């Protein structure tokens, strides 16, 4: 019994451990991962398809809290509808995840099949559906409207929800799952074994999205990235379908490796550009703050962050410039090394202006709001908040001159 538990724990921690480089795997992170895994092991969270009106109402409340109130991303009549197929009559399944200790629904996601939305132009672009052979679309799912309450985002809730989705997909003979993610979430999806399907593009609501695909039967890839989802596929009896895997391999052979249009920030390669934010930090603190930061190549006119968006990320200009637009009018131009989106992150309020790339040579560094929570040393944390305060105060001083 103990040996079995140790084996399960080791496999589970391998998945969580892959979330950070080995040199940063310290005791606090190990304990956090252990607690997260034990919650998973002891069924702290339960995910399931919604079958009754009470649960549906609770899931809609979560969506409203996250999509409308936190992110200000509602297109259409409700938080359930998306810009990619807002007016389409699409059949879908709604899944929920609840905290079994409290019985509270803490997250949800909508699932539909790709063949239902393949004729919608916005959906074809959002999920690269034009790349699929028609026969595969009916065996491909699309995940939209993922929402997890903020206080549960560092728990095992989202992993439990995703595992249930993929378990049911495998049982239904699905071969692939699609989603579109923000650059800040790209590293997390890679660690789960989900791969890019195309380059990032402008979202209808502003900001960027990267089309991603999970090939459900690619055991070798899941093993290679230490995905915690590998066990689901290994447990499937009989021969695994190969159509989706062959299609993706042929796609890469024909078009070359898929470039998502973003790259991981390479340490101190642009130290001068982020000096205002990282000044005074230890080397370890600087690595923690910039870990998983994504460099994005922009085109002229790209809306990097849109007005009204929830303060979930901030950015730095690495090359070129961006302009700040309020109600369609230019309010300021930011050059290399200047920060944007920081006020919304600090105040936890919605962005008040559009941040727009000025030229095709503009390159920005995107940091998620969670970067501030990764600083383990109290002196580093205090220093980065001083840096942010100086940046914001200096900007306000210039504005009144």
Number of residues assigned to the chain: 401
Give the homologous superfamily in CATH for domain 14-19+32-255.
Gcn5-related N-acetyltransferase (GNAT) (3.40.630.30)
- pLDDT in the model for residue 133: 94
* Long-range Cβ contacts of 196-202 (<8 Å, 24+ apart): 196/258, 196/259, 196/260, 197/127, 197/128, 197/131, 197/258, 198/128, 198/131, 198/258, 198/260, 199/258, 199/259, 199/260, 199/261, 200/260, 200/261, 200/262, 200/296, 201/125, 201/126, 202/302, 202/303
Secondary structure (3-state) at 300: coil
pLDDT of 362: 92
pLDDT of residue 138: 95
- E strands in 298-353: 303-305, 313-319, 322-326, 329-334, 339-340
CA distances from 36 to 44, 124, 172 (A): 10, 36, 29
Please state, as a whole number, how many other Cβ atoms lie within 10 Å of the Cβ of residue 136: 16
Please state, in angstroms and as integers, the Cα–Cα distance from residue 163 to each residue in 4, 118, 178, following that order. 21, 25, 15
Please give the CATH number for the structural domain made up of 262-400. 2.60.120.10
List the chain pLDDT tens, one digit each, 401 residues.
333 333 443 444 444 444 444 334 444 444 455 455 555 556 899 999 999 999 999 999 998 888 777 666 555 555 555 556 655 678 899 999 999 999 999 999 999 999 999 988 888 888 999 999 999 999 999 998 899 998 898 888 998 999 999 999 999 999 999 999 888 888 889 999 999 999 888 776 667 889 999 999 999 999 999 998 888 888 788 788 899 999 999 999 998 889 898 888 876 556 678 888 999 999 899 988 888 888 888 889 888 888 877 667 888 999 999 999 988 888 889 999 999 988 888 887 778 888 999 988 899 998 888 888 888 889 999 999 999 999 888 887 566 55
Closest CA to 340 of 362, 366, 378, 359: 366
Domain segments of the chain as ranges: 14-19+32-255, 262-400
Compute the distance between CA of residue 138 and CA of residue 97 in angstroms, rounded to an integer.
Answer: 26
pTM higher than 0.75, yes or no? yes
pLDDT of residue 252: 92
Tens-place pLDDT, residues 253-310: 998 889 898 888 876 556 678 888 999 999 899 988 888 888 888 889 888 888 877 6
Helix axes 283-290, 378-400, angle to 10 degrees: 70
């Amino acid at each position: 019994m103990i040996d079995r538990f140790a084996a399960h724990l080791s496999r589970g921690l391998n998945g969580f451990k892959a979330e950070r480089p080995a040199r940063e795997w310290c005791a606090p992170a190990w304990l956090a991962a252990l607690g997260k895994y034990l919650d998973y092991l002891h069924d702290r969270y339960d995910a399931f398809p919604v079958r009754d009106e009470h649960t549906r109402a609770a899931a809609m409340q979560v969506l409203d809290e996250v999509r409308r109130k936190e992110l200000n991303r509602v297109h259409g009549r409700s938080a359930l509808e998306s810009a990619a197929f807002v007016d389409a009559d699409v059949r879908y399944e709604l899944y929920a995840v609840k905290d079994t200790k409290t019985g509270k629904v803490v997250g949800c996601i909508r699932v539909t099949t790709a063949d239902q939305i393949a004729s919608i132009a916005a959906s074809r672009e959002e999920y690269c559906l034009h790349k699929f052979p028609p026969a595969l679309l009916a065996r491909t799912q699309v995940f939209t409207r993922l929402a997890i309450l903020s206080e549960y985002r560092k728990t095992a809730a989202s992993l439990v929800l995703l595992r249930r989705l993929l378990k049911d997909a495998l049982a239904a003979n699905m071969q692939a799952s699609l989603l579109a993610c923000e650059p800040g979430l790209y590293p997390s999806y890679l660690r789960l074994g989900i791969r890019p399907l195309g380059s990032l593009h402008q979202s209808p609501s502003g900001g960027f999205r990267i089309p991603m695909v999970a090939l459900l039967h690619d055991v070798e890839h899941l093993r290679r990235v230490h995905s915690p989802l590998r066990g689901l596929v290994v447990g499937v009896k009989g021969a695994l379908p190969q159509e989706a895997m062959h299609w993706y391999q042929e796609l890469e052979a024909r078009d070359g490796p898929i470039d998502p249009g973003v790259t991981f920030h390479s340490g101190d390669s642009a130290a001068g550009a982020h000096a205002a934010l990282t000044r005074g930090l230890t080397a370890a603190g600087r690595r923690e703050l910039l870990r998983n930061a994504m460099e994005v190549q922009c085109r002229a006119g790209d809306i990097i962050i849109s007005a009204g968006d929830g303060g979930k990320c901030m950015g730095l200009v690495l090359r070129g410039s961006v302009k700040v637009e309020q109600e369609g009018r230019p309010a300021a131009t930011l050059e290399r090394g200047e920060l944007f989106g920081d006020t919304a992150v600090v105040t936890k309020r919605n962005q008040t202006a559009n941040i727009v790339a000025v030229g095709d040579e503009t390159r920005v560094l995107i940091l998620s709001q969670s970067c501030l929570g990764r600083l383990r040393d109290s002196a580093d944390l205090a220093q980065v908040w001083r840096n942010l305060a100086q940046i914001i105060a200096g900007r306000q001083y210039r504005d009144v001159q």
